[in-house]
Amino acid sequence: MPAFIQLVAGAPDSDDVQFSPGRIAGILVAVEQRLEINLVAAVIGVWIFAVRRQAEGKTIMKHRLTVLALGILSGLYACSSGDPAGNQDTSGTTAPEQEVSQAGAAATDSRPNILFIVADDMGFTDIGAFGSEISTPNLDRLAYGGVRLNNLHAASACRSARLMLMASAGAVAASDPYPEAYRGAVLSLDYATIAELLQDAGYATYAAGKWDLGDVPGYLPVSRGFDRSFVQGRGSASFFAEIFRGAFGYWEDDREVTPEDVPEDFYATRAYTDRMLEYLQSTEEGTPWFAYLPYTAPHWPLQLPDDWLDRYAGRYDDGYDALREQRFRRAAEAGVLPAGASLDLFEPVAEPWSNLSPEERRRYSRAHEIFAGMIEYLDMSVGRVIAYLEESGQLENTVIVFSADHGASAGEHGVDTGRDPGGGGGPTDMPDDIDNRLENFGRRGSWIDHGRGFGEAATAPFRYHKGTLAEGGLRAAAFVYYPAAVPAGGVSSEFMTFMDIMPTFLEIAGTGHPGAGPYRDGRVISDIVGRSAWPHLTGRAETVHPPTDAAGWASGLGGGALIRGNYKIINQAPPGGEGSTPWRLYDLSVDPGEHYDLAAEHADIVAEMVEELETNWH
């Protein structure tokens, strides 16, 4: 059956046909816009006939007159259909125009699926296509088959990045206090999410992975636009079927899951993949889908199934200083480093490897072995999803975006020797029931991270790591794969942020944001901040942002940062410190490592940018 008729009448071969006036109206407006003729009068007779026959209990699709009329409309529309993935422009889209775009895109049935994969706490050089020694063949295939991004800015920590992503707004603006929720806050209802807007546009929407935007009813994924979801509602949880820091932390749709509800051999990365495959397989044929797969790996607690624990045994015995040099060299060979990147002035925060005792070295290197295994397991899991898309014939029509959610984790949980009080961010409490003996690393009951030194090795040549507003905390390794429109083998150094992901996905779907104003369920929503990167990614535009655009971040420990054009200001204290310092100014186009402070030379620029940050981003 033609896609146009499927939109009107529902699934093929169905006797339960539902003729929606809203659906018909949207189709007529879309056809009228494309053909520049008035079809309403021509079809009104068919509409009246259809309604009467349906009222009589007859099935519309059994009546030839209706089929003929709908077929004519289908043919007329097909003659004028376009390419929503390649040619839509969402700038300034109004609500009526959005409805037209949605109707037209659905009628052609050509809109791409969107698969968005996120790795949690992964560093810039932690996959092969960005310089890693870790085996990531599935991600590398996609990265080299698309465009790699070396100037995508997320946030300094997990929840802030997800707020910016889902709302296309600053993390401060998108967060609402909610004392009963984890972290005491939720994603504000003042913002429509990516999933809600794609759901409005006719996409099936699924989530499997880390949510971290509200673990209370009304704020879970099922209430924020996702048709199905299996998520870790909190910021952290065990990868196994056990209580961690007082909770299990998993939710399926609107039901909280307990350890007794899952198999004894439950492992979170495998479970997310299994659920997502189930959701995709359940999608009605011809319906485009948005799959959000924010894996919790390799976030702490670093854990793996027993048969994966020793895959990198002995690989990191030379330590993090040697690894940092090796990663930088391979990243340079891979062509993924931005202009000006260098280790010449890099100053690590971690204690030199040569100063550590044999016991300290064993603990750090063993922890990083497990971290590396988690990334390879994630890659293997992505390979399962890609294999399904290939087997089902959907890969060619699926836009795949992969990204870390910020810079590399640098937590000292379970490995801290007292040299670095407070570790590299995250909770400092260690419950009595945690078993962090070396022989239990990565198993049930353990709570370890890989330490600041290995975190820095994965973010170099950028300064610092997760938990900071320096480039090592904000820059996220990412790539976009869609051979139908995105040229293969490229590297983009164009500035982008997580706030640009929503408008990019909306443009891919042939729709747009409705703008500030009334929305579903009586809500009044705010407008978005981001811009679509799709014209740039598909080679139709040189830039994503004009030089006057700005993006700002605030730190819970004090200080802030703002990027406008090539310049960045920051006054956050170095790792281990709190509060703020005098403002520093860097030109990231030539100094991505933040080595040369230009504040004294350009006090006027600093003053302008500080005012922008305090006015719009705090």
Least-confidence region, from 3-12, 189-198, 245-254: 3-12
Phi/psi at 232 (5° precision): -85, 110
Same domain membership, residue 128 and residue 61: no
Phi/psi at 187 (5° precision): -70, 125
Please say which residue of 25, 58, 81 terminates a domain.
Answer: 81
Same domain membership, residue 175 and residue 72: no
pLDDT at 482 over 60: yes
Two tokens, residue 305: 């199934």
Give the pLDDT confidence of 538-558 residue by residue, as tens digits: 999 999 999 999 999 998 777
Same domain membership, residue 57 and residue 144: no
- Per the CB < 8 A criterion, the answer to whether 454 and 133 are in contact is no
Structural domain includes residue 92: no
pLDDT at 448 over 50: yes
pLDDT for 94 equals 38
Give the pLDDT confidence of 357-409 residue by residue, as tens digits: 999 999 999 999 999 999 999 999 999 999 999 999 999 999 999 999 999 99
Structural domain includes residue 165: yes
Please say which residue of 26, 61, 81 terminates a domain.
Answer: 81
Q: How far apart are CA 304 and CA 372, in angstroms?
A: 10
pLDDT for 432 equals 84
Task: Enumerate the β-bridge partners of residue 210.
Answer: 232
Q: How far apart are CA 381 and CA 297, in angstroms?
A: 11
Structural domain includes residue 303: yes
C-alpha neighbours within 13 Å on the C-beta side of residue 7: 30
Burial of 362 (0-12, 13-18, 19+ CB in 10 A): middle
Q: Is 50 helix (H, G, I), strand (E, B) or coil?
A: helix
Of 470, 477, 474, 418, nearest to 575 by C-alpha is: 470
Same domain membership, residue 566 and residue 528: no
Give 470's contacts (C-beta < 8 A, 6+ positions apart).
462, 463, 464, 570, 572, 594
Structural domain includes residue 97: no
Give me the number of domains the chain comprises: 3
Same domain membership, residue 383 and residue 310: yes
More confident residue, 100 or 261: 261
pLDDT at 11 over 60: no
Which element (helix H / strand E) includes 117? Answer: strand 113-119
Task: Enumerate the β-bridge partners of residue 416.
Answer: none
Please say which residue of 487, 503, 537 terminates a domain.
Answer: 537
Two tokens, residue 10: 């529902």
Same domain membership, residue 602 and residue 518: no
Same domain membership, residue 76 and residue 206: no
Letter string b/e over residues 119-154, b meaning 16 or more CB atoms within 10 A of that residue's CB:
bbbbbbbbbbbbbbbbbbebbbbbbbbbbbbbbbbb
Burial of 475 (0-12, 13-18, 19+ CB in 10 A): buried
Structural domain includes residue 91: no
More confident residue, 43 or 414: 414
pLDDT for 87 equals 43
Same domain membership, residue 71 and residue 210: no
pTM for this prediction: 0.84
Same domain membership, residue 443 and residue 421: yes
Structural domain includes residue 96: no
Same domain membership, residue 562 and residue 517: no
- Per the CB < 8 A criterion, the answer to whether 560 and 618 are in contact is yes
Of 371, 473, 380, nearest to 425 by C-alpha is: 473
pLDDT for 279 equals 98
Give the pLDDT confidence of 560-598 residue by residue, as tens digits: 999 999 999 999 999 988 889 999 999 999 999 999 999
Same domain membership, residue 562 and residue 417: no
pLDDT for 85 equals 56
Same domain membership, residue 522 and residue 432: yes
pLDDT at 492 over 50: yes
pLDDT for 166 equals 98
Of 576, 558, 573, 568, nearest to 596 by C-alpha is: 568
Structural domain includes residue 543: no
Domain of 169 in residue numbering reads as: 113-537
The conformational region for residue 246 under phi > 0 = left, psi -120 to 50 = alpha, else beta, is left
The confidence band for 417, taking pLDDT boundaries of 50, 70 and 90, is low
Structural domain includes residue 477: yes
Least-confidence region, from 78-87, 187-196, 478-487: 78-87
What is the domain-level CATH number for residue 583? 3.30.1120.10
